[in-house]
Every structure is written in C-alpha cells, then in structure tokens.
Amino acid sequence: MRYLGAAISSKSGNSFADLSKLRSRMTTQQILAFTLIALMMAVFIWDRFRYDVVACCALVLAVALGVVPVDKAFSGFSDDIVIIVGSALVVSAGVARSGIVDMAVKKFFPNLNTLHTQLALLMIAVALLSAFIKNIGALAIMMPVAFQFSKKSGASPSKYLMPMAFAALLGGLMTQIGTSPNIVVSRLRQELTGSSFTMFDFTPMGALLTVVGITFLLFFHWLVPSRTKQNNSIEEAIEIKNYTSEVSVTAQSAVLGKPISDLLKLGDGEVIATAVLRGTARMSPFPDLQLREGDAVLLEGPSNELDRIVSSGRLKLSGKPLSGKGQARPDVISVEAVISQESTLRGLSAKELALSYTRGVNLLAISRRGERLKERLGNLTLMAGDVLVLQGSRKNLPGVLQDFSLLPLAQREILLGTHRRAFVPLIILALAMAATAVGIAPVPVAFFAAALGMVVFRAIPLADFYKSVDGPILVMLAALIPVSDSLRTTGGSELIAGWLGGVAASLPAWGALALITITAMAVTPFLNNAATVLVMGPIAASFATNLGFRPEAFLMAVAIGAGCDFLTPVGHQCNTLVFGPGGYRFSDYPRLGLPLSFLIVLVSVPALLYVWPVR
C-alpha cells in the first residue's frame, strides 16, 4: 500500500497545489485516449456490429494511434478478469447440468410461478450470498435457478439475469469482504486515522442501498427488454417437443406407491403419460392410479422435462444399462438422429434389432410428427422421419449412425440418459469459495481450478467444456482491457482526479459526496473498481482533511461509487457474466442501470451524512 501512503501524505497544505498540477493542459495521448473510448462507447450503443468485433477494432486503432503500446496489445488475454469470467461460465454450466438446481427448486419453491416472486427470491438470495462470498460466485450459483424459473414463467432469461447481477453488486456493499473497494478503503482509513473499517461498518449503508436497489429492480425490471441469446447456434434452434419415452418404476423410485399425478408434477406440466403397462395389462393413466414396482410408464414431452422426471423420480429408462464394472460410464452420451429413407431400420422394431445387445446402443425416446405414440418402444415399428434419442458411448455412436443411415441432428446437449453427479459441482464450487475466503488461493486461481475440477471429476463432459465458455465475451473483455487501461497509462485518470479535487473544494459536503460518488461510478467501467478506489480514495481523503471534515463519509462514497457499476457490461465481471447468456446489447445496461445509479446517489448522500457525520 505504498501508493496509498504517498497519496495520503498530500493532506498537507501543499495538497491543492499538487492537484493544480494535475489540472494542466491535456496531452495529445490523453486526448486520443478519451476520444477513442468515447467513439468506442458510441459504436457499442449504436449496436450495428457485434460487441467482440467492436472491441477488437478499438484495440487495433488504439495500437495504431500509440495509445496502447504494441507489447501490451494482447495483455488482456492473460488478465485475471478473463480467467474469472470464463471459469465462472464453466462452473455455472456444471451446476446447471448436475440437476441439483431442478431438485432444489422443486423441493423448496414448487409453487413459485410468477416473474415478480421469482425475481424477488433470486435477487435477495444473490445479495445475501454476495455479502459473504465473492459476488461472481454467488451469481454463478444462482444463474441456473434463473434459467429454471424462466422456463416456468415463460419470461425471457434476460428479465432475470441483469437484475441479479446488479443485486450481486449491491449485496457486496454490505460487508468489508463483500467487494474489493470496501477492502481498499478500509486500508486507506487505517493509514489515515490508525483504525480500519470493521467487518460490519459497511452494513448500515450497504443494507439500505441493497433494499432500495432490489425494490427498484423489482418494480422497474420492465426497463430490461426481452432478449434471446445473440450467438445462438443452429443446434439451439432445433427443438423437438413430443418425444415419447418408456420408464420403469423400481424399488428405489421416489414415486413408488404414489399416484401418477405426483410423477407428472415433476415435469412442470410439460409431460403427459399416455399409458401404464403392468405385466400384460395396459392401463389408462388416470391421475389417481397408484404406481407399483415394475410398472412401465409411457411418457411424452420435451427431452429436458423427461430427463427431469427420470432423475427426480429415480426411474429406469428402457434399454440395457451401459456400465463398466458395475458403475455408470462417464463417456455415455445421448444424441438425436433422424431415420432416413435409405435406413435399414425402416419397418423394424427396437426389439427385433436388439441394439442394446448387438451394438451397445439404447433407444431412449422417439418423436413422430403428428402422432401420439402409445406402444412400448421395443414394439414400435420405426418409420422414415422418426427422430430417435440414442444412448451410447462417444466412440460407438458415430459408427451406429453411419451403419444404419441415420442422420444426426446438429449436436446439442441431450441430458436424457446421461450420467451426472449431482453434488460434485456444488462441492467443487464450495471448495473454491472457501479457498478464496481464507486466502489459500486468489480468485482467478480458485475459479480456474474449479472449472478444471468440473472436467476432472466428470461433472461436465470434456466435449462440452468449451461450449460452456462464451468465446465472444472473453474476446471482447481481452480486447477492452488494454484500451480501457489507456486512461491510466496516459495519465487521464490522474487528470480526472485532479479536476475532481478542484471542483469538490468549492462545494458543500453533500455536493462533494454526490460528485465523488458519481465520478467513481463513471470511471469504474474503465479502471475496474479497485483501481478507481486507488485513484480517487486519496483525493477524497485529502479533500476532506484539508476542509476539516472527517474522512469516513468520503471514503464510503468512493467505495459505493466504485462498487455500483451498473452502466456497462465490462466494468464488473458480474455484468460480463450475464451479458452473453442474457442476450443483452450494450445499450441495455444504461437503460436499467442509469436510473438505478441516480437512485443510489440520491439515497446514499443524505444517508452517508447521517451514518458517518462529517463534523
């Protein structure tokens, strides 16, 4: 903290003389840096070109103008933020894939169906978690829940993710360890007064702003437009809605002895039962029909909902278990394929083919357009155009598709019939968060190790690992980091700090607090929140000391402004994390974030003067 100590020494009578030097005429490099960043932001908001292309163009232009040194052009690709965001995306995907989220939502919130109640729960949970663990970790835990709620309510995921990211930022304000700015201003106060802020000195202001912010987000979430993921692939556009699958009730099934209506509740109303087969008897699936061991139930619905029923109800899918030495094989996957006109499967049944025994492949589900299937899968005569869900090993399936002239659909994740370890992703994430909390490992290392652990412990297949990483988002981040850092390297940040000190000196205490908070909010997207505190904290403390004010309120104002970055997707990793999955545009952030920022300023200034009096 030598930098802070040197900055605080400016509290002597020569402080404002030093600041006046900072307000000297802008250099050519500073003008170019400010102009380039303003132009880049305008193109982002214009939204005619994809965000990663805009960021890369800005980087090339910055290097050409000499604002970014050539040897620093690609420094962003090794930046901690890129590692954290990429790793968090993998961890979040692992948690979502485990199915533990579905089980938790079903058990604790079975009747939470409206957008307002779902959003309130998500924001409160994220905010409380963010007070004690890294906010990007809290957000990664709750994002799969948001996607699950989105399916239940029919609302776009974009309606949930941005408010959740903002709630994570607000929740981090409540404790000393909640966010980096709080830690930095605590050290600054230690050097200035001899005593640091304590763990819960931030709680009165943080809790107030969190309650106000969440209330605002709950009533004004309509400012966020409904978006779909911008870089959807062809596989995500393919949607088969009427798969028929056969499942069996075993002694370990959770629905044994329960009515069939309880089984269908696990599918959120998306799955219907077409028949129940008990021995040689065929029974109508009345809601009060009690399920017995050995019953075979024919279910129809989307593959994801069928998977949820199978996993939550602990049911057995049709076909021979594909296992090795008594344990499920991690390389078993499920794929979709269409029976072509030339396929030798036409006119045959699965029982006649005996694929499980001859080729090591199971038929899990069938979709036939315009027809509801009521026969057992093994007895069903296959036709050209039928869509099959086949289960097998990654090595075996390609040969089967080729031999039987089956046309694979564009590859997308089919969870039905795949092996998953429900609690492994949560354990991995918990260990990573614990390592950061006790100081064993820094955040980038802990999250990278957690992402690697998802693959090592097979919580997510290696083939799906890179699908979880949103490439365009990481490229945008990596390109923007050196461009944004040009404000610091050219002396632009010191210029802003000098101007701030000069203007604030002529304002009353409330005006200076407002100015400091607003400036910190505006600068944070380009410096990151910790760097903003390092630049502005000493200026605010020096200003307060020279005018005879106590410094606590001004340090708190810097921490609040630096911690409330609601204006861009690049200022904080939480905003970046939801950018791709939410399908947001750059201009969506200020639509919700700008009024929220003004509200935070309006509430925080009088509250700071009350909680931390300046006299």
- Domain boundaries, given as residue ranges, for the chain: 2-78+112-229+472-611, 239-317, 323-408
pLDDT tens figures, 129-173: 888 877 888 888 888 888 878 877 888 999 999 999 999 999 999
Measuring CA to CA, how many Å separate 354 from each of 93, 141, 317, 345, 404? 35, 42, 15, 11, 13
Rounded-to-integer distance, Cα 21 and Cα 434, Å: 46
Residue listed under structure tokens 């993998």: 90
Rounded-to-integer distance, Cα 508 and Cα 209, Å: 23
The backbone torsions φ and ψ at residue 387, rounded to the nearest 5 degrees and listed phi first, read: -100, 125
Cβ proximity of 313 and 266 under 8 Å: yes
Within this chain, domains 239-317 and 323-408 share the same CATH topology:
yes
Nearest to 561 by CA among 594, 531, 502, 601: 601
Structure tokens at 572: 């904080």
Rounded-to-integer distance, Cα 218 and Cα 211, Å: 10
- Which CATH class, in words, describes the domain spanning 239-317? alpha beta
238's CB contacts (< 8 A; 6+ apart) are: 336, 409, 410, 412
**What pLDDT does 39 receive?**
92
If one counts every other C-beta atom within 10 angstroms of the C-beta of residue 448, the result is: 20
Give the count of alpha carbons within 13 A of 225, CB side only.
12
Three-state DSSP string of 34-48: HHHHHHHHHHHHHCC
Question: 136-151 b/e with 16+ CB inside 10 Å = b?
Answer: bbbbbbbbbbbebbbe
Q: With H, G, I as helix, E, B as strand and everything else as coil, classify residue 328.
A: strand
Question: Could you tell me the maximum CA-CA distance found in the chain, to the nearest angstrom?
Answer: 97
Query: Which H helix or E strand runs over 94?
Result: helix 80-98
pLDDT > 90 fraction of the chain, expressed in percent and rounded: 20
Rounded-to-integer distance, Cα 259 and Cα 263, Å: 7
Cβ proximity of 418 and 458 under 8 Å: no
Q: How far is CA 502 from the centre of its chain?
A: 40
Q: Which parts of the chain sit beneath pLDDT 50? A: 1-24, 233-238, 324-328
**What pLDDT does 320 receive?**
61
Residue listed under structure tokens 């556009």: 237
Three-state DSSP string of 380-435: CECCCCCEEEEEEECCCHHHHHHHCCEEECCCCCCCCCCCCCCCHHHHHHHHHHHH
Rounded-to-integer distance, Cα 153 and Cα 157, Å: 10
Structure tokens at 275: 């028949």
**What pLDDT does 413 receive?**
53
**What pLDDT does 1 receive?**
41
Q: With H, G, I as helix, E, B as strand and everything else as coil, classify residue 605.
A: helix
**What pLDDT does 17 receive?**
44
Rounded-to-integer distance, Cα 214 and Cα 110, Å: 23
Cβ proximity of 488 and 524 under 8 Å: no
Measuring CA to CA, how many Å separate 343 from each of 292, 293, 334, 335, 348? 38, 37, 20, 17, 10
Structure tokens at 385: 């155009």
Q: With H, G, I as helix, E, B as strand and everything else as coil, classify residue 165.
A: helix
The backbone torsions φ and ψ at residue 526, rounded to the nearest 5 degrees and listed phi first, read: -105, -15
Cβ proximity of 213 and 596 under 8 Å: yes
Structure tokens at 293: 């061991």
Residue listed under structure tokens 């700090």: 497
Fold of 323-408: Alpha-Beta Plaits (3.30.70)
